[in-house]
Chain A
């Protein structure tokens, strides 16, 4: 066997022969060829289905699923995110509270007294 030279550009026949013997298939080669050829038609048939056809077969279910998702999203969003009415908001803001609360602050003619403001903030509802 040759001395191992770094990056030797020639194949090593001895190592090559030993590896070939180790890797050579034990089965009959003609049986292997026949086995591959038996799949010849199937492989070509499978490959002859164009990608566009595959995508087209997904088109209708895809459109239906997208439409259903859109409708569901709209219904859900409307139910969850619909804003409360303006009337309710004002009523809530103006709801009477005990003591000089928010209503007193808003309805007052004069500028609010600082103590009223602080009281309305710290007073329990």
Chain B
């Protein structure tokens, strides 16, 4: 994540028509945007589509951004909304079900496979959480936003963010703890 000053400068240049400056912003926040979108949508291709929608929507609305405030939360709000919109439109398509071997703890051939398996289980566990809880825990524990910033991104009170993060963590930590058990 870039500093607010750098981001504000890039935004100003983008507003002046500098396409390359917008490219730097996209590069800087691409990983974050794609992860947040994937937390909402599950499917990586849908997530990339939503992240792209978010970046382009942000580009169009860039004049509304207040450069005195951090750029990341402003952008993440747009990306998260774009992902939610896409999920609503998609509606009938669901996250692919896990293979029975993954659910039941199948064979573990090597470290890469183990990581992949853990990733599958975490994604499945995330998919079971309510969408707002998913967003909250990913923004907090993965992207490092504060409760106050997440409250701004999700448009909910800070206390609700704390509660959502707590409940999401309880579920995910249980999963991780079980995973470590022999």
Contacts and interface: CB of A to CB of B under 8 A. Distances in A.
A5 to B, nearest CB: 8
A37 B141 contact: no
Given A23-B35, A24-B31, A29-B27, A7 B162 contact: yes
A57 B147 CA distance: 46
Interface in A2-27: 4, 6-9, 11-12, 14-16, 18-27
A70 to B, nearest CB: 38
Interface in B24-48: 26-27, 30-31, 34-35, 38-39, 44, 47-48
A43 B82 CA distance: 15
Contacts, number: 110
Given A7-B162, A43-B56, A1 B177 contact: yes
A1 B175 CA distance: 12
Contact of A23 (B30, B38, B165, B166): B38
Given A4-B169, A33-B23, A15 B176 contact: yes
Given A16-B141, A18-B122, A19-B122, A1 B34 contact: no
B142 interface: yes
A85 interface: no
Given A7-B166, A16-B141, A22 B123 contact: yes
